[in-house]
Structure 1
Amino acid sequence: MAQASNRAGTQPSIVEQILDPANRADPYPLYAELRRTPVTREPDGTYVVSTYNEIVALLHDPRVSSDPRNHPEMAGAATTPAEEPAGLPESFIQRDPPEHDQLRELAMRPFGPPHTPERIEGLRPWLTEVTDDLIDDLAGRQRVDLVDDFAYPLPVTAICRLLGVPREDQPRFHVWADALIETLDVTTGGFTQRQQRRQQVAAELGGYLSGLTDAHARRPGDDLISELLTDTGPHAPMDREDLLSTAALLLVAGHETTVNLITNGMLTLLRHPDVLDRLRHEPDLVVPLVEELLRYEPPVHMLTRRSTLADIDIAGTTIPAGSPLMLMLAAGSRDPDRFPDPDRFDPDRTDNRHLGFGSGIHYCFGAPLARVETQVALPALARRLAHPRLVADPPPYRPNPQLRGPRHLVVEFDAIAQAAARADRVMAHGR
């Protein structure tokens, strides 16, 4: 979809206003207006769905395809094999059953729950150390950008550890993650152009991951790539190309969502100082608090690259087969027909089945990691930043409307408190 209306002399639609970067700081009034008509059709033929029940229904409907090859904008855009860039295949989240189901099961077995719950949960002590080290690096300063100085390096460090990436290569992953995220921005270029750029970036990343996979094949370790290579369960091992695309998926799914979740979380807490103070003194609050953040200020606002395989009747509208879909997750998570008082941030909210990580078979692959990282990061920031305050509200946002979050979150504070674990060591060992 285009960012601005191409219809001369006409008012931009609500969706076009949502996509406009000028409205990135607060799109929620526009979402409320959009929900008045649960299903709308944009001039380019995209059907936009904005209410909770209808979004959930479509996310669980086998007649909705996530395969870009079924997307109408790809029709006639296929290249010959000689013209195709040597990139990665589409990851399993961009495939339909049964292929999707088998690949997702293979990917989830070594990654996390329900098959290997200890892998992600076991990272908590290490993540606590990384988090404290990042905050320690802020000592001596009274103004920092929590995006660049904290929220970006934390998930990259975690993903690289999971994949077994050498520390010296971590900066390269940051660049690739940013480039891949840019190709998801529906406001930049056309669908086909974004697909081509995605393939170019994927070719660079795929070349690196291929070499990394060779190294782990020669000497397996306790990392995710090694376990995918050595898996002996049903349908294992995963094909090499699918293994590479799964590793690339984790880079994106476990990176940008976490950056936005941590940053949106701190922004929300600074706007709600009573909740920030509660978090300092009630450690158990962090679990429901993160879930409320996923509803109230989610890292993913909409899903695109979906299309219909058959006619679908929903909310009094027939969406014809072959239509592109845009599912407005953030609008659904503030639907008053599903959540009482939806525009209020309430970490004590019950029955909070939000759409922050989607729903259905394509539920976010990186969700378990993003949750744990945020549950570690936010309490540490709350405890250790003395009297934090925003320098600019609203902060500047990235232009991407799909993965919405501040580009910078500049915060002032009086001092950095010593980490509790480190203080205990000092008292016990005198150093």
Structure 2
Amino acid sequence: MTRLDARAARRATREDRRVVLHAHRAGYLALRGITRLGRVVRVPGLGVVVSDAARMREILLDPGTYSKVGPGGSDRLWTPIIGPRGLLNMDGAEHAHLRRKLTPLFSQKFLRSIVDEVLTPEMDGFVAAVARHEDVDVVTVIERAAALIICRLTGYPEDDAAAQLARAREILGFVTLTTKSFTDAQLAVIHEKLAVLNASTRTAYRAAAPGTVPALMRAEGITEDDTVAVVTAMIVAGTETIVSFAPRFTNLVVESGHLDHLARHPEDVPAAVAEAMRVTVPSPVMIRSVLRDDRVAGVRVRAGERIILANIFACARAGDFDPSRPVPKEMRQLWFGAGAHFCIGMPLATLEAEVFATALARAAEAGRIGVRARVRKQRTMAASYSRLVIRAERPA
């Protein structure tokens, strides 16, 4: 694989860091300062901040000592939104049981059929627009595609796709890197938005349309209430992965010059996607509650304390964007977690990302693609661009 120009790669990586800074200025700057003090740092009133990938993986693989559920755990944030049984805010035997029932929903065969039906036609239209040398907003393209996939998976009406995605984004707007809980006023707004999503899920569950998640969950004997919780978690926490990643990936490969390589060698798309995820980190921070006393790299942690896994800074230690260099072993897919809580939606997110990246590589065959306009999002959970316009140059 052709190596990148180091200066171009650094510029592209620094721009991506600015994207995160715009989304989480206070939290990002605070965590960056803390992680510069060391890879495991105790911060009074905050918890123990870990930014070493190997140590993070050990913590994620030790559910007997570190849990999502407990004082300072991430369940305190998500349970008021999705209820107590949304998978991502559960632990122990109940979590394992529900996860086993849900795993068949994310088989490659099922996901591939959804992508071929929904995403591929959208990407064909994207490639055609670029080939016509039009200005194309990647954000608009991927938001529409992601919304259609969610509606196909959940059984929601297709004409309601954009509205459902907007509701999910409004809910995520209350979450930052440092959010520990919500005010009563925030919860009132969140529950108002959720009422529409939940009603749509209940309708889909009762209709049991073939090939939808609610229908498959119903067939597995999962209750309507649990289905509502899981589907809500999937929409609120999962949809933004591809929506935020695609524009950032586009900017990384365009500004680094790597897109030209992908246009000639589309077989290298998976490596480029993996490296871009290492740089962009879909889950920038993960939280765990300490269940029993332990030591992390010599730092004592006590039961009841909070562990903050600064994923974005751990993964950044590998350096600038460079798909020619394998992702370090300790960092591989760390952005999706590890162990019992490894993201169940990873196969879908990765498939969507690779299909988009392949389409972008195809689009580059029309001419060298450049970024004509970009607007970074501000104060949002999923750091990205609100607008990223590209155009392919006409041949001389």
Scaled by the length of structure 2, what TM-score is found? 0.81
- 2:256 paired with 1:272: yes
Question: Which residue of the other structure, out of 372, 376, 388, is the alignment partner of 2:369?
Answer: 388
* One-letter amino acid of the structure 1 residue matched with residue 239 of structure 2: H
2:11 corresponds to which residue? none
3-state SS of 1:100 partner = helix
Question: Which residue of the other structure, out of 81, 92, 95, is the alignment partner of 2:90?
Answer: 95
Work out whether residues 75 and 89 of structure 2, in 8 Å CA contact, stay in contact via their aligned partners in 1: no
- 2:158 paired with 1:167: yes
1:313 corresponds to which residue? 295
3-state SS of 2:384 partner = coil
> Superposed, which structure 2 residues align to 1:344-359 within 5 Å?
344-349=321-326, 352=329, 353-359=332-338
Residues 322/196 of structure 1: CA separation in 2 closer, same or farther (3 Å cut) = farther
3-state SS of 2:167 partner = helix
Work out whether residues 86 and 203 of structure 1, in 8 Å CA contact, stay in contact via their aligned partners in 2: no
Question: Which residue of the other structure, out of 207, 210, 217, is the alignment partner of 2:206?
Answer: 217
2:378 corresponds to which residue? 398
Residues 310/286 of structure 1: CA separation in 2 closer, same or farther (3 Å cut) = same
> Superposed, which structure 2 residues align to 1:298-309 within 5 Å?
298-304=281-287, 306-309=288-291
Deviations 1:194-215 (A, max 9, x none): 6873574245435543454345
In the alignment, structure 2 segments of 5+ residues that lack a partner are 1-17
> Superposed, which structure 2 residues align to 1:369-384 within 5 Å?
369-384=348-363
196-205 or 275-284, which deviates more: 196-205
Work out whether residues 396 and 406 of structure 1, in 8 Å CA contact, stay in contact via their aligned partners in 2: yes
Residues 222/415 of structure 1: CA separation in 2 closer, same or farther (3 Å cut) = farther
1:421 corresponds to which residue? none
Deviation of the 1:268 alpha carbon: 0.7
3-state SS of 1:289 partner = helix
Deviation of the 1:228 alpha carbon: 0.6
Work out whether residues 241 and 282 of structure 2, in 8 Å CA contact, stay in contact via their aligned partners in 1: yes
* One-letter amino acid of the structure 1 residue matched with residue 155 of structure 2: G
Distance in 1 of aligned mates of 2:115 and 2:73: 43
Deviation of the 1:192 alpha carbon: 2.6
3-state SS of 1:179 partner = helix
Residues 399/90 of structure 1: CA separation in 2 closer, same or farther (3 Å cut) = farther
* One-letter amino acid of the structure 1 residue matched with residue 372 of structure 2: V
Residues 240/21 of structure 1: CA separation in 2 closer, same or farther (3 Å cut) = same
> Superposed, which structure 2 residues align to 1:11-410 within 5 Å?
21=22, 31=32, 34=35, 36-62=37-63, 63-67=65-69, 70-71=71-72, 88-109=83-104, 111-112=105-106, 116-126=107-117, 127-136=119-128, 142-147=134-139, 149-187=140-178, 191-193=180-182, 197=186, 200-202=189-191, 204-231=193-220, 237-273=221-257, 275-304=258-287, 306-336=288-318, 342-349=319-326, 352=329, 353-385=332-364, 386-391=367-372, 395-400=375-380, 403-410=382-389
Work out whether residues 87 and 201 of structure 1, in 8 Å CA contact, stay in contact via their aligned partners in 2: no
Distance in 1 of aligned mates of 2:81 and 2:284: 31
3-state SS of 2:145 partner = helix
Deviations 1:114-171 (A, max 9, x none): xx33111223422211222345567877434322x21222211111111111112212
In the alignment, structure 1 segments of 5+ residues that lack a partner are 1-16, 78-83, 232-236, 337-341, 417-431
Work out whether residues 70 and 322 of structure 1, in 8 Å CA contact, stay in contact via their aligned partners in 2: yes
The answer to which structure has the higher helix fraction is 2
Deviation of the 1:294 alpha carbon: 1.3
Distance in 1 of aligned mates of 2:182 and 2:237: 22
208-217 or 320-329, which deviates more: 208-217
Distance in 2 of aligned mates of 1:318 and 1:132: 54
3-state SS of 2:300 partner = strand
Deviation of the 1:414 alpha carbon: 3.5
Distance in 2 of aligned mates of 1:73 and 1:333: 21
Deviation of the 1:57 alpha carbon: 1.3
3-state SS of 1:307 partner = strand
Residues 196/52 of structure 1: CA separation in 2 closer, same or farther (3 Å cut) = farther
Scaled by the length of structure 1, what TM-score is found? 0.75
Alpha carbon RMSD of aligned pairs, Å? 3.5
